Structure 1
Amino acid sequence: MKDNKYRLYFVDAMRAWAILMMLQGHFVDGLLDNAYRDNSNLAFSIWQYFRGITAPVFFTVSGFIFTYLLVRGDQQGFENPRVKKGIRRGLQLLLFGYILRLNLFGLLKGEIYSTFYLVDVLHCIGLSILGIIGIYLFSSTKKKFVLPLILFSTTIILFVLEPQYKFMDHIYLPDMLANYFTKANGSVFTIFPWFGYATFGAFLSLIFTRFKDSRYLYPVAITTAFTTGFGLILYSSIFVNYLAQTTGLQLFAELFKNNYLFIRLGNVLVVFGVFMTLRRFMLNSTVLKIGSSTLSIYMSHFVILYGSLTGLGFYAFLHHSLSPYIVIPGALFFMIACVYSALKYEDNKVVIKSKAWELAQQFTANADPWITFSYRLIKDTLFKVKVTIIKLFRLVKN
């Protein structure tokens, strides 16, 4: 493995952990029988708590990695090559998000099902990348403190105002757009408040970039992550309640009732602290490869579990029907299958893309005569129909 003193291997390991947690979380949640979903059961409660950490970690790490690469060079604004790459990446994630929700059988019938318009993780991460690029471009001509200030403020504002906007259904928007802002139609994620975790990750990456050469970077970062993380977990609700009683604002009272965003932010910081502490043990090439192949793993899991494109996945046949004795080993095999297939694809990605391009060209070449024939046939048929209609109208007129 090539050594790179500026590469943060613990972040790659965090991303690998997050994607594996997502795989088992989706499998267990989708297939476990409702009879075993008992919050009084300690094992189930622990699993459920850690499952709730997965998405915040994934969004935070995504914002961290993208911004860390974005600001590394000396070029600013549109001159930064990472801007164009980021825009392509963001649009690519949006495209893949919609492709995974297509149903080929529906397309053959000329239908696009309503689930196609629902918003999921890929949509939100893609849009978050575009949002971070927008903030970066806006602040590129301003003082250095403006970018981290905007990123941090965005997180705080989105989290504090969440009680105000989470129940809005945005009926004035088309469903395709409204689904980015409301779960009323069935979207799993919405851009708000999840963009707040991405901007917080971007904010953390700026701190690491600023102090990357400091000998005290990790001791200070680890101490701060644990202190702030446990502080948010244990005391953020108390502080919000204090603000509610002091100011009398209903906003803080509503936030206190469901203060999950700041608590989860504390969880994210604790996870950062753990992985930074164990960073010397996270140089395994397979782990790092998993961390850099999360998109392929996510897409393979969507096809296998949810039956993307065909509708023929485990979820369709085994939804909420299995016992823990089957789900737990099944989740392990599912994780292995998704990771193995994704890594095999990554190893042969160039060859697979080359073969796919060749097949597309061959299909186009072979289909060209048929396309030309079909075009002429349709054109001649339409002309004959037109002549027939004209004659018919003349006959009626006479």
Structure 2
Amino acid sequence: MMNKSANRLHFLDAIRSFAILMMLQGHFVHALLGTEYRDNDNAIYSIWSYLRGMTAPTFFTITGFIFTFLLLKNKMTGLQNPRVLKGIRRAVKVIFWGYLLRLSFFAISRGTLNPSFFYVDVLQCIGTSLLLLIGVYLLFYRKDKDWFQRIVLCLGILIFILQPMYGKCILEFLPKTIANYFTNRNGSIFTLFPWFGYVCFGSFMGTVFLKYKEQAQFYLYAKVVLMSIGVLLVYFSSDILMILYRFTDVIVFKSVAYNNFLFIRLGNVCILFAVFLMLKNYFSDGITTKIGGNTLSIYIVHFFVLYGSWFGLGLNRFFHRQLTPLQTFVGAILFVFCVCVIVLSYYRNEDQIKSKVNDFKNRILTVIPDSFLIEINDILQKVKKLRYIKR
């Protein structure tokens, strides 16, 4: 990625590592902490709940940032840019895993699909957001990078401002599989809007960093600007929206101001970026890079361990909202540690594991009689011929 300055890459990986670790502990606590301990008047629980709310905005923002940075850093443009096809493949892979993790083998055994299979979760939303971002790039790359920069910034603002309007849509005229990307009325956890807005803001930040990163004192200015914007959004964005409403009489400004979670969370993300920029010299090619580079694998493993995925036999099935605060605290630490160890150990020994799997396959094949394999091959050839004849 950023090969000229290791630190400039590592602070991004550190943010991504922070986000995935926050997600792991957040899901664990949310799923297993006893109901009687979920008290918003409790300072510790209230702080934890607020910090947990930063995870998804951070993830979507950093996704847009990193993808755009790598996309525009390449000198080739349009479909000739290898990052375009790589991004499409990555997006499709993420969407695929989003659906696969929600598949229930028990439902399949009954000849049906579980309703939750069609819910849109974070992976489908991130994957679709990447495809949209690539589409925006392909539409405007012929102009210049400044055009793309302006478009993604305007899109992000527009998506946030119009949230009260599209947030109420039910979209009954669309098939539920499609509608689930735009409304949570059917059970979706994440929807394309407003979350694509964070990807757009992250994309805008990526273009700014790419444009000015070589200039002297840029990182100093970036810290100050991000911190200032973050404080402004967190503490004053609602007032600014109300001022816009009074000057324009556009009711949507007032609606956003009264439920201003999007701009406030964006402010949280800006402050978080500023903090990690301040610490960027302390990050190196170590554990944060490894965790930040394997977020999809970590998400997949955590989903199996916590929710059980295909068979539903995860921790949530046995301890759903039953743990005490102490048990939850210790359990969350162990959960985060174990999931990361599983993923990082696999990639450390990936070649050996694949070699053993191939050896196991070969041993199985040696046990199976050659006549049986020949018969299976004949059947497959006949099926291919039938398909060709039908065509």
Same fold (TM over 0.5): yes
Provide the rounded CA distance (Å) in 1 between the counterparts of 2:282 and 2:341.
22
Residue deviations 1:232-273, cap 9 Å, x none? Answer: 101000011112223222211211111000000000000000
Provide the rounded CA distance (Å) in 1 between the counterparts of 2:255 and 2:314.
39
* 1:346 to 1:327, Cα distance in 2 relative to 1, 3 A: same
* CA contact 1:104–1:310 (8 Å) conserved in 2: yes
> In structure 1, what is the equivalent of residue 328 of structure 2?
327
One-letter amino acid of the counterpart of residue 51, structure 1: R
Provide the rounded CA distance (Å) in 1 between the counterparts of 2:259 and 2:167.
12
Provide the rounded CA distance (Å) in 2 between the counterparts of 1:22 and 1:351.
30
> In structure 1, what is the equivalent of residue 178 of structure 2?
177
> In structure 1, what is the equivalent of residue 45 of structure 2?
44
Three-state SS of the structure 2 residue aligned to 1:183 is: coil
Provide the rounded CA distance (Å) in 2 between the counterparts of 1:176 and 1:143.
36
> In structure 1, what is the equivalent of residue 5 of structure 2?
5
> In structure 1, what is the equivalent of residue 304 of structure 2?
303
Provide the rounded CA distance (Å) in 2 between the counterparts of 1:80 and 1:352.
34
Three-state SS of the structure 1 residue aligned to 2:145 is: coil
Provide the rounded CA distance (Å) in 1 between the counterparts of 2:343 and 2:159.
34
> In structure 2, what is the equivalent of residue 190 of structure 1?
191
Bigger mean CA offset, 237-246 vs 254-263? 237-246
Following superposition, the deviation at residue 374 of structure 1 comes to 8.1
* CA contact 1:87–1:130 (8 Å) conserved in 2: yes
Q: CA RMSD in A?
A: 2.4
Following superposition, the deviation at residue 349 of structure 1 comes to 3.2
Provide the rounded CA distance (Å) in 1 between the counterparts of 2:285 and 2:80.
35
* 1:362 to 1:186, Cα distance in 2 relative to 1, 3 A: farther
* CA contact 1:293–1:346 (8 Å) conserved in 2: no
Counterpart check, 1:82 vs 2:88: no
Following superposition, the deviation at residue 315 of structure 1 comes to 1.2
> In structure 2, what is the equivalent of residue 257 of structure 1?
258
* 1:243 to 1:110, Cα distance in 2 relative to 1, 3 A: same
> In structure 1, what is the equivalent of residue 387 of structure 2?
none
* CA contact 1:236–1:263 (8 Å) conserved in 2: yes
One-letter amino acid of the counterpart of residue 157, structure 2: I
One-letter amino acid of the counterpart of residue 249, structure 1: V
One-letter amino acid of the counterpart of residue 32, structure 1: L
* CA contact 2:213–2:219 (8 Å) conserved in 1: no
Following superposition, the deviation at residue 144 of structure 1 comes to 2.9
* 1:114 to 1:277, Cα distance in 2 relative to 1, 3 A: same
Counterpart check, 1:26 vs 2:19: no
Provide the rounded CA distance (Å) in 2 between the counterparts of 1:85 and 1:190.
24
Q: Which runs of 5+ in 2 are unaligned?
A: 384-391
Residues 1-398 of structure 1 aligned to structure 2 (within 5 Å): 4-5=4-5, 7-283=8-284, 285-353=286-354, 368=373, 371=376
Bigger mean CA offset, 137-146 vs 54-63? 137-146
* 1:351 to 1:130, Cα distance in 2 relative to 1, 3 A: farther
Q: How many residues align?
A: 377
TM-score, normalising length: structure 1: 0.89
Three-state SS of the structure 2 residue aligned to 1:172 is: coil
Provide the rounded CA distance (Å) in 2 between the counterparts of 1:258 and 1:317.
36
Provide the rounded CA distance (Å) in 2 between the counterparts of 1:353 and 1:146.
46
Provide the rounded CA distance (Å) in 1 between the counterparts of 2:361 and 2:242.
61
Provide the rounded CA distance (Å) in 1 between the counterparts of 2:346 and 2:56.
25
* 1:200 to 1:281, Cα distance in 2 relative to 1, 3 A: same
Identity %: 43
Q: Which has the larger radius of gyration?
A: 1
